[in-house]
Chains A and B, each alone.
Chain A
Amino acid sequence: MNVKEKINDLLYKIKNPERYIGNEWNAINKKWTNDKIKTVLAFPDVYEIGMSHLGMKIIYHLLNSNEDILCERTFSPWTDMEELLKENNLPLYSLESGREIRDFDILGFTLQYEMSYTNILNILDLADMAIRSKDRNEKDPLVIAGGATVFNPEPLAPFIDLFFIGEAEEVIVELIREYKNLKKKNYSKEEMLFELNKISGVYVPSLYEIKDSKDRLAPINKGIKDVINKQVVENLDKAYYPTEFIVPYMDIVHNRAVLEISRGCTRGCRFCAAGMTYRPTRERSKEKLLSLADEILKSTGYGEISLTSLSTVDHSQVEEITESFMDKYQKDNISLSLSSLRVDDFSVELAKKVQKVKKTGLTFAPEAGTQRLRNVINKGVSEENLYDAVKSAFNSGWHRIKLYFMIGLPTETEKDLEGIVRMAKRVLEIGKDIRQNTDKRMKKIEVQVSVSTFIPKPFTPFQWVSMPSKEKIIEKQDYLRDNLRGRGLKFSWNDPDLSLLEGVIARGDRNTAEIIETAWKNGAKFDSWNDHFEPNIWYQAIKDNNHQLEDLIGDIDLNKILPWSHINTGIKQKFLKKEYNKSFSEEITDDCRENKCTRCDVCHDLGVELDIIGDDF
């Protein structure tokens, strides 16, 4: 059944119908023939968010680059579209062929954010499939998932048939070919999952259970691996990277060409999940980047290209790269943007070169208000770094500075909050001073202070640490709001309930799945959207499943077996514990980029190496 065709005449009834039509430039519409394995990637949020996600695009184009694999896309329909589908008794469909999801062999979810998990259940439901793996039948697609938050798969374990742990570029095709092979042999789903679990990085949760009184998830039978190793791409230059990106009609969140210049970050901030789980750092070479950029711009027609990574400015060749890009593309009216700036002069100088004309705002993330707390979290930034950076930014014509901080970090005291206020005000003063003494015309100085709440994440040194209570979070936010008033200052904060629940899911176990299911059944979806988030549904779901919020966000004993202990990201728990202890004695750990191995063991354990292009050692 072609659902897309059936619903097309009715799309005028809803908002943003262009989310549901596909037909974009570079979208791939393969013929449905018997020799192909049919896969559909599902992103558990709306089109404009999903289409801004690099990981999904890489997998889409990678799978379609294989003749025997067909890959299409689907996204969470907004509530008006969900109603329209339901009113017309139509299931969710893919944007390319318009077929219903159940027609596919494999349905793959992109995991990107804990608070989008209810949307995963909703997509399964809208596809007319059972929520739980065990209730689905042989004809239903195999449901797989992977992505940024997959390193703790347990909160989704009952819903997903198979997880892929780590970077999928190299093994995903092998996985699908093996599926094809097993399907030909008429294996049942159960037999198939058992076989697929043998592939590196593949985790079939139904093959693991908690035995006896131990908390460790262990294989249900002999002959099943007991640890699942994260998969990593060894060499980014050799890794697959798409060039014929889909060009959406809709003005999506990141509406530009995207070039991933490196993967991983060596800084070792102790709160940062991505910084730990994407280790080791690997860079693409300047030559490779230039040739990719050429092809991408040619095939997409974008007028802007963004260099992205967890820490773009850390690329060892970043100056040469930006210079070459400017030389090459400025005359074609193609602009360049950098995704993340370090708090220093160097970054501002670089931004200055890149943004010759349109100087809107610059963002810096000191994360904490005192040197003491920055040492605790291992954020290697000093107050002087920040003031130098903003001085040079204001002097170069920027008038708006955005500062990122976190509250609720371990060991935080009033002094640390005072520090946030002091730094923000100092930045404002520096700006005002420069504005008063310059001959150039400068808009009014604006300092935006954006404060998020610390959330302990698996595989970070802070995975054992508690979150503050809701009352404490509100108290801290109130203090900052009261003290960050006045002309030129703007304060923004995160919903405390949303942060707490993200914390619950991030460190959740298989029991957390029950909470997610209950919340979804009671109407939770699009939780990360302000107008949809209903914390009370979640708090009720926690109660209904006989849990207490305080327990779920509390301290975890260092000796307890963690729900994600069967997943190996390469980083040893020993290293995380050492980092945990160092944080409380306010000791910093160096960046491993400078030829100083910090013994996290990733390189050794996964058989890959830190790959710094400009490194001659």
Chain B
Amino acid sequence: MKIRIEFSKLKGVRYISHLELMDTIRRAVRRANLPAEYTQGYNPHLVLALGQPLAVGMVGKGEFFDLSLKEKIDEKEVVVRLNESLPKYIRIKEAKYVPEKVKSLQAIVDTAIYSINFDYDKNKIDDEKILENLESKNEIEIIRKRRKKDDRRLDLRPMIYDIEIDKNYPVWYFTVSTGSSGNVRPSELIKALNERYESIKEVPLVNVIREGMFVKKGDKLLKPFASQVVRS
């Protein structure tokens, strides 16, 4: 029985890696005494699948993982039991059973919203004007650094779906493509702005929050356990 779970990874654990997060969840499932499914074979381990990794240093407010249970336990109870068994900086928000053959998180999640705190003085900088200028551009080219491969030129423009700025804070919200069919890295957004606008300083990844992970259906952003997503 596959259950898809939404959680947040908060500031107190933002420096733990993807693998460390997986171990933490595995142990929490044991502590919660949930009837979890284990892999067969020589070295059985808990069946657990996370979505796209969150970079070390970033907070995530709408992250997901899939778990397999041997018997059905009420969704709300799964949330309560896991929250009792997780460090307080990892919070389960919602859990929903999904069909056994549903596509994996990594395969269907294609959109992410990042908020970036650029840490400038709102009174001194006309950020809406900067945004207007940015949106008028047909191309936002960056140089993508790749591990063990040559750098590559890349246009971010078609992968940025929406940008909004908070009214009171120097915080920008970027809705962008994520995953295998085109991935925008927050560090590249920061760099792209910094290179083009003097007043936007380069900020570290700890200023970024991944606000949510979605499946894009037309103009709609759906959560990966939404019925429209898991049915198809």
Contact = CB atoms under 8 A, between A and B. Distances in A.
Nearest to A5: B11
A301 B87 CA distance: 12
Interface in A222-236: none
Interface string B18-54: 0111011011111100000010001111100000000
A300 interface: yes
Contacts of B197: none
A11 interface: yes
Contacts of B11: 8
B158 interface: no
Contact of B31 (A11, A12, A300): A300
B87 A251 contact: no
B159 to A, nearest CB: 24
B27 A18 contact: no
Contacts, number: 75
Contacts of A298: 31
A250 B20 contact: yes
Interface stretch (A20-28, A75-83, A480-488): A20-28
A186 B54 CA distance: 53
B80 interface: no
Interface string A51-70: 00000000000000000000
Contact of A17 (B15, B19, B24, B88): B15
A21 B15 contact: yes
Contacts of A299: 31
Nearest to B39: A333
Contacts of B204: 9, 12-13
A17 B27 contact: no
B23 A251 contact: yes
A127 to B, nearest CB: 23
B193 interface: no
Contact of B38 (A23, A302, A333): A333
Given A24-B87, A358-B42, A12 B20 contact: no
A494 to B, nearest CB: 31
Given A12-B205, A21-B15, A333-B38, A249 B57 contact: no
Contacts of A24: 87
Nearest to A19: B15
A614 interface: no
Contacts of B183: none
A276 interface: no
B26 to A, nearest CB: 7
Contacts of A21: 12-13, 15-16
Contact of A303 (B17, B19, B20, B26): B26
Given A21-B12, A357-B42, A301 B30 contact: yes
Interface in A287-305: 297-303
Given A12-B206, A301-B85, A358-B42, A23 B27 contact: no
B53 to A, nearest CB: 15
Interface residues of B, number: 33
Contacts of A250: 16, 20
Contacts of B23: 249, 251
B206 to A, nearest CB: 5
Given A18-B17, A251-B23, A358-B43, A12 B28 contact: no
B89 interface: yes
A249 B27 contact: no
Contacts of B16: 18, 21, 249-250
A291 B208 CA distance: 46
A247 B13 contact: no
Contacts of B28: 25, 301
Given A21-B15, A249-B13, A301 B27 contact: yes
B26 A301 contact: yes
B143 interface: no
Contacts of A251: 19-20, 23
Contacts of B21: 249
Nearest to A20: B15
B56 interface: yes
A298 B27 CA distance: 10
A25 B44 contact: no
Interface of B: 11-13, 15-17, 19-21, 23-24, 26-31, 38, 42-46, 56-57, 85-89, 204-206
5 contacts: A12-B204, A12-B205, A25-B28, A249-B16, A303-B45
Counting from the closest, the 10 A-B pairs by CB-CB distance are A301-B27, A301-B30, A17-B15, A301-B31, A12-B57, A23-B12, A249-B16, A357-B42, A249-B20, A333-B44
